Structure 1
Amino acid sequence: MSGRVLIVDTDKSFVKGLRYSLEQDEYVIEHAGSAAAAMELLNRKNYDMVLTEIELPDSNGLLFCQNLRTISAVPLIFITNVDEDIKKILALEYGADDYLVKPFNILELKARIKAVLRRYSNKLQESDGNVIEIRDIRINTVGRKVTCKDKNISLTGKEFDLLYVLASTPGKVYTREELLERVWGYAYYGDLRTVDVHIRRIREKLEKDPKISEYIITKWGVGYFFREK
């Protein structure tokens, strides 16, 4: 598995070593030293993966990730010196696919890149195109945008991923464990209640009355499913 990777980091020595290692696996590597430079490249080119430090000279990496998710669903992994649980959790909430603290074993990074790319590829294959439309909900997987009754719905990264998994296979009941695996993967830092919290937040944004759901239905004792009709 290979592809085009954008590395966003100011440490030229680190980037040089990482570039060399990934090029051994036939990845095509490009580099940006700031969030602004990275966004300029991302607006002009297509990438298969973004690897970014959380501490950037012109922006917080979390804000960079959040802004990126408004234009692209490209997989993103934080590779950073910041080893704080709250930053890891926020990174995943804002749409990152994984979080790895420096220093790390390059083989572990390569394994995580491959795992994220596999998950991303599987998501794309589940849909016949870039847009899922069910009743009055429209999900654009490229821009990661959701509308309900022609109204734009603002979702966090994981809320979008969770809604996408459910809506891409309407009527299929997912257990909480399955949703954790599909949405959070091994980069998960919480427990099963995380799924319930995210479902509640999505309902609050989609439903007139979150207590009477029209879209995401609870299968008591099992999990959740997206209503087909």
Structure 2
Amino acid sequence: MADSLKRVLVVDDEASITEFVTYALRKEGYAPDESANGEEALALARRNNYDLFILDVMLPNMDGFELCRRLRSISSAPILFLSARDTELDKVVGLEIGGDDYLTKPFGVRELIARIHALLRRGNGVEGSGTNNAISVSGITLDEDSHTATGESGSLDLTPREFELLASLMKQAGKVVSREDLLRDAWGWEFLTETKTVDTHIKRLRDKIGKAGYDPTLVETVRGYGYRFRVI
């Protein structure tokens, strides 16, 4: 059973989908709230500290992609898209704007819950073994057990995907890591061919590194190849 304190906001204008998802969440021990539109969802997100957002793409007035962009300005919690739009382009857009996973309708409850568990494990380190599974490079210490990135300048507030990208780069510090390898390491999705997704998330990662007081050029672009985490 999941930690009962884990709060999830489900945003979908189809009542049957909302009821199905919230029932599955409650059965797993989560505490779901629900909303049928983006404006109400934003208001709820500003009032409450959610551990996960589940968004439909086709919402009235404000679509799920725009809602995702706005949520990213106030929260680093994982975002899972649920949508009947199943093209690769839709999935890529969802990831580029800050989403962490994308599940197409119709979907089974087991797959839904498995995706949710995976996102919350990555976001909160609930599977940590308690061992010292940490990497320290260039003033940043990344701990995969607690899913934290810290240093003398402070901690980095990273989404699960940003954390996975940083982990992949730091584990191979000084070496060039291709966009394709970063896609596989951070998302585990072999079918995505649009590597621009990585570029978008790397830009956000650099911004957060800089805001936390570190040198954003620690993540270096190697033209034509990929990215490298510099050792200084």
Query: What TM-score results when the alignment is normalised by the length of structure 1?
Result: 0.70
Shift of 1:215: 2.9
Equivalenced residue count is 199
Residues 20-99 of structure 1: pairs in structure 2 closer than 5 A: 20-99=23-102
Contact kept in structure 2, 1:166 and 1:226, CA below 8 Å? no
Shift of 1:139: 7.5
Q: Distance in 2 between matches of 1:161 and 1:216?
A: 13
Give how far 1:161 is off: 5.5
Correspondence 1:154-165 to 2 at 5 A: 164-165=166-167
Q: Deviations over 1:112-167 (max 9, x none)?
A: 111111222246824355x885xxxx88416x7xxxxxxxxxxxx97x55764467
Evaluate the alpha carbon distance shift between residue 179 and residue 163 of structure 1 in structure 2; reply closer, same or farther with a 3 A threshold: closer
What is residue 127 of structure 1 aligned with on the other side?
148
Which residue of the other structure, out of 104, 107, 112, is the alignment partner of 1:109?
A: 112
4+ aligned runs moved over 6 Å, structure 1: 166-170
Distance 1:22 1:44 in 2: 21
Calculate percent identity across the aligned residue pairs: 30
Task: Give the alignment's Cα RMSD to 1 decimal.
Answer: 3.8
For 2:122 and 2:174, the matched residues in 1 are separated by: 19
Which of 205, 216, 219 in structure 1 is aligned with 2:219? Answer: 216
Q: What 5-or-longer segments of structure 1 have no aligned partner? A: 145-156, 207-212
Give the Cα–Cα distance (whole angstroms) in 2 for the partners of residues 121 and 175 of structure 1.
25
Identify if the C-alpha distance between structure 1 residues 170 and 196 changes in structure 2 by more than 3 Å, giving closer, same or farther. same
- Whole-angstrom CA distance in 2 between matches of 1:126 and 1:139: 11
Using structure 2 for the length normalisation, give the TM-score: 0.69
